[in-house]
Structure formats: structure tokens, C-alpha cells
Amino acid sequence: MNKVLLVIGDGAEVVDTLVPYYRLSEDFEVVRAAPEKALYHLVQHEHEADWDITVESPGYKIESDIAFRDIVPDEYIGIVLPGGRAPEFLRYDKHLLRIVKDCFAKKKPVASICHGIEILAVADCIRGVEVTTIPRCRFDAEVAGAIYLEQPLVVSGNLFCCRYKRECAPWMKAFVAALHDYQEFRK
């Protein structure tokens, strides 16, 4: 059992999605999961000096391997929730919420970056849990009962959160170590 779910959807951020995909592929089988088995459009976010908000432009396309409804959670040792705008829409998928809740119930490693916290908030998995996310998603975390910390990486039990794509390296390092520990524990 060495499969890890990578959640994708239209509007997922390129770096938030591809860094985990390639890093996790070194040690695990990464299964790209989405609302349907289809091709999805990633986006890239840039911070422009003369803009108050993030500028979004088209990025790469990525194909999913499996639809959320077809996932058997026991076949996976962890899950990654990307940033970008995709979580704003994915958080309403009842099949994804079922999977996320199952991961928390079984203490499987869960990685969330940026807007990924929106999925965790709707799944009601972060009540009383320390988390981090980008500042503009702080409300989403706190309204769901989480304890927001403004720092690059927060590890709370089986949850691994980071804020920005520039913080992916320590986030993935901690998450990969936890996945290996989980595998050893399951033997």
C-alpha cells in the first residue's frame, strides 16, 4: 500500500500541484483524483506590484486518474489538497469530503497548501487544530474552529499545512517522512 491521492481540479495552482506530484512520485504511486476522470486546467498565480490581488493566468493541463466517487480510501496512505481556486469548488464534492474525513479518522497523513484549507474547513476536520494557510484564507480556517498560526509550516498530528508555493520544500519533506512512518506503522 504505497498510493497517495493528489486532488486536482480546474483552477488548481501549478506549483502547489506539480511539486507534490513529482516529489511524491519519487517514493510513492501518486493517483490524481478529481470530480471526474478528465483533463483539468491548472493556473499560475503571480504577485504584481500594481495589483492588490493575485494575478491568475493559464498554466499546464493535467489529467486525473480517478473520479472521487470511485476511490476506496483504504487503498491510500495519504492525500494532498492543493491551493489555487480549485478548492473553492471542490469543497462541495460529497465524495471528496468522505475521503478527507476517512483520512482524518484513520490518522493518515494529510497535506494542505494555500486554499486547500477550504476543503478541510467544509469537511469539519480542523476544529481545535493548529493550521496555517495564506492570510486571506485565515477566516475559512477560524470559522471552522481551527487555530490559525502565521508561519510557513504547521504540523498538527496527521495534518501538514503550508501557506505559499515558495514553502513547498519543507512542507513536502515533512509530509514524505510522515507517509514513510505511516507505512511502517501499517506493516
Does residue 102 belong to any structural domain of this protein? yes
Q: Return the closest-CA partner of residue 84 out of 41, 144, 25.
A: 41
Does residue 187 belong to any structural domain of this protein? no
**Number of domains observed in the structure of the chain:** 1
pLDDT for 53:
74
Report pLDDT digits (tens) over 25-78.
999 999 999 999 999 999 998 877 787 777 777 889 999 999 999 999 999 999
pLDDT for 186:
79
Q: What is the mean pLDDT of residues 20-26?
A: 98
Is there a contact between 33 and 82 (Cβ–Cβ < 8 Å)? no
Map grid coordinates 499546464 to a residue.
Answer: 60
Residue 128 structural domain: 3-182
pLDDT for 113:
98
Rounded to whole angstroms, how far apart are CA atoms 16 and 85? Answer: 11
Does residue 36 belong to any structural domain of this protein? yes
Report pLDDT digits (tens) over 114-147.
999 999 999 999 999 999 999 999 999 999 999 9
Judge whether 47 counts as a catalytic residue. no
CA angle 72, 2, 151 (to 5 degrees): 95
Does residue 168 belong to any structural domain of this protein? yes
Q: Give me the CATH number covering residue 103.
A: 3.40.50.880
pLDDT for 13:
97
Q: What is the DSSP letter of 181?
A: H
Does residue 89 belong to any structural domain of this protein? yes
Does residue 50 belong to any structural domain of this protein? yes
Q: Which amino acid is at 56?
A: E
pLDDT for 1:
66
Q: What is the mean pLDDT of residues 160-170?
A: 96
Q: What is the mean pLDDT of residues 4-24?
A: 97
The one catalytic residue among 41, 47, 95, 115: 115
Report pLDDT digits (tens) over 80-114.
999 999 999 999 999 999 999 999 999 999 999 99
Does residue 118 belong to any structural domain of this protein? yes
Map grid coordinates 505511516 to a residue.
Answer: 182
Beta bridge partners of 6: 32, 80
